[in-house]
Amino acid sequence: MRKPASPAANAVVFINARLIDPASGRDEPGGLLVRDGVIADLGPHLRRNAPDGVTVVDCRNHVLCPGLIDARVFTGEPGQEHRETLKTASNAAAAGGVTTIVVMPDTTPVIDQVALVDFIQRRARDNAAVNVHVMAAMTRELKGEEMTEIGLLQRAGAVAFTDGQSTISNARTMRQVLNYAKDFGALIVHHTEDVHLTGTGVMNSGEVSTRLGLPGVHKFAETIVIERDVRLVEMTGGRYHAANITCVESLETIRTAKAKGLPVTCGVSINHLTLNENDIGPYRTFLKLRPPLRSESDRMAMVEGLTAGDIDIVVSCHNPQDVDVKRRPFAEAADGAIGLETLLAAALRLFHADQIGLLPLLRAMTINPAKLLGLPGGKLEIGAPADLIVVDLGQPWVVDKARLRSRSKNSPFDESKMQGRVLRTLVAGETVYQYDDDAR
């Protein structure tokens, strides 16, 4: 989706790197040669020996790994550019070490037609610093009634189909979508929420919601839909992905489906991996999310599910909202949190806390989403696109929302201490972000 890389002459070798490739399990000192926007060579033999005539970048023993692929990003383009554009989202992504973003169809208008997929791709090509792919709507206007032109949308470049933040509540419609999508091998990504059970609920149902006097949402509002969907997958054979699971019961349902050999996968947002309902504290609306933050035991279950590989991918669920819709009483505030720029740093919290290893953590943000969506990146392999990041795992920093690149500042991690910083981000061999240049 981007400008073609600059000519061959600009070969660059990264030496003194700790090469980490979750796809192959590689974690060793070495170097990596980039030429023509792709990985031309890599391995221990390049650790200190740069080939002649190429630019040398010394990684100073920091991590060199594939750039992250974020499969769930909401922007405001088109229609709500005051929240976020493809350009601002991609700048945030680049600074966060995310080299590919997959944008959701919840825009104005909804991305439910070929021309709109084309629009996003062209806007991204002209403005975005990272790769942008489109997930198109699976039903027209996200209404959950009539299915979209899944075949034609796929041909136009849609990498998967979703109704974004909406759930198809009609089982028959969902069945038809899965059944039809199967013929194209198209992936159906579903936000799983029984809206009737949710009712007026605005946060996880439990002691915290009761004390705050806020209407709660029981976590089974999510699990019930996943259970239904798994049965529909069993009926149809369609490829299904639960967009953002948040509780242990949903995880068990997915695990059981996988054990049966059904084409079922799931994702979890970085928020549900690293935060819980208690973080809402005194009505912090930046932590008002959909699905809502759950209990600590559910959060731990998500981390364990990720470690075990039952959860396939980690997403930012980046959802920019401006101050006007957030600075309201909790129940009236908009849902969502930005997360592109803090995705890796927040994820590394789990690594630093010894809750998960580096390889399984990165796998869920690189090769796994690449495989799920059929994207070329996410791995260190000769011939793969040079979408790479250099990361200092140890560098401490404090999130300052004023310095985040997103157009909206609704970060749940504002003022949080982080450990681990992206030093450089490359997309197709070109540096799109460098920490040293970040002299603001």
Binding residues for another protein (CB under 8 A): 205-207, 209-216, 218, 282-283, 324-325, 327-333
Q: Please give the C-alpha separations between residue 259 and each of 253, 256, 304, in angstroms, as whole numbers.
A: 10, 5, 17
Distance in Å, CB of 116 to another protein, minimum: 29
**Can you spell out the DSSP letters for 378-428?**
SS--TTSB--EEEEEEEEEEE--GGG--SSS---TTTT-EEEEEEEEEEET
Distance in Å, CB of 399 to another protein, minimum: 21
Residue 170 or 297 having the CB closest to another protein: 297
* CA–CA distance, 207 with 288 (Å, rounded to integer): 16
* CA–CA distance, 46 with 30 (Å, rounded to integer): 6
Residue 61 or 297 having the CB closest to another protein: 297
Residue 87 or 219 having the CB closest to another protein: 219
Question: Which tokens is 32 given?
Answer: 């990596």
Residue 206 or 237 having the CB closest to another protein: 206
Q: Please give the C-alpha separations between residue 285 and each of 166, 181, 289, 294, 322, in angstroms, as whole numbers.
A: 21, 37, 8, 15, 12
Question: Which tokens is 414 given?
Answer: 């504002």
The phi-psi region of residue 210 (left if phi > 0; otherwise alpha if psi is between -120 and 50; otherwise beta) is alpha
Distance in Å, CB of 223 to another protein, minimum: 16
Residue 107 or 209 having the CB closest to another protein: 209
Residue 226 or 333 having the CB closest to another protein: 333
State residue 162 phi and psi, 5-degree precision: -155, 155
Strand, helix or coil at 363? helix
Residue 99 or 295 having the CB closest to another protein: 295
Distance in Å, CB of 412 to another protein, minimum: 17
Residue 51 or 215 having the CB closest to another protein: 215
Question: Using alpha carbons only, what angle is made at residue 279 by residues 368 and 354, rounded to the nearest 5 degrees?
Answer: 45
Residue 75 or 209 having the CB closest to another protein: 209
322 by Cβ neighbours in 10 Å (0-12 / 13-18 / 19+) ranks as middle
Alpha helices in 237-342 (DSSP H): 248-259, 270-274, 296-308, 323-326
Distance in Å, CB of 107 to another protein, minimum: 23
Residue in this structure with the two tokens 């157009």, named with its chain if needed: 407
Largest CA distance in the chain: 68
Distance in Å, CB of 190 to another protein, minimum: 26
Distance in Å, CB of 226 to another protein, minimum: 21
Residue 119 or 283 having the CB closest to another protein: 283
Q: What is the DSSP letter of 286?
A: G
For residues 12, 17, 18, 24, the Cα torsion angle rounded to the nearest 10 degrees is 20
Beta-ladder partners of 416: none
Distance in Å, CB of 208 to another protein, minimum: 8
Distance in Å, CB of 216 to another protein, minimum: 5
Residue 153 or 333 having the CB closest to another protein: 333
Distance in Å, CB of 218 to another protein, minimum: 8
Strand, helix or coil at 27? strand
Distance in Å, CB of 56 to another protein, minimum: 52
* CA–CA distance, 124 with 99 (Å, rounded to integer): 13
* CA–CA distance, 353 with 276 (Å, rounded to integer): 16
Identify whether 78 is preceded by a cis peptide bond (ω within 30 of 0). Answer: yes
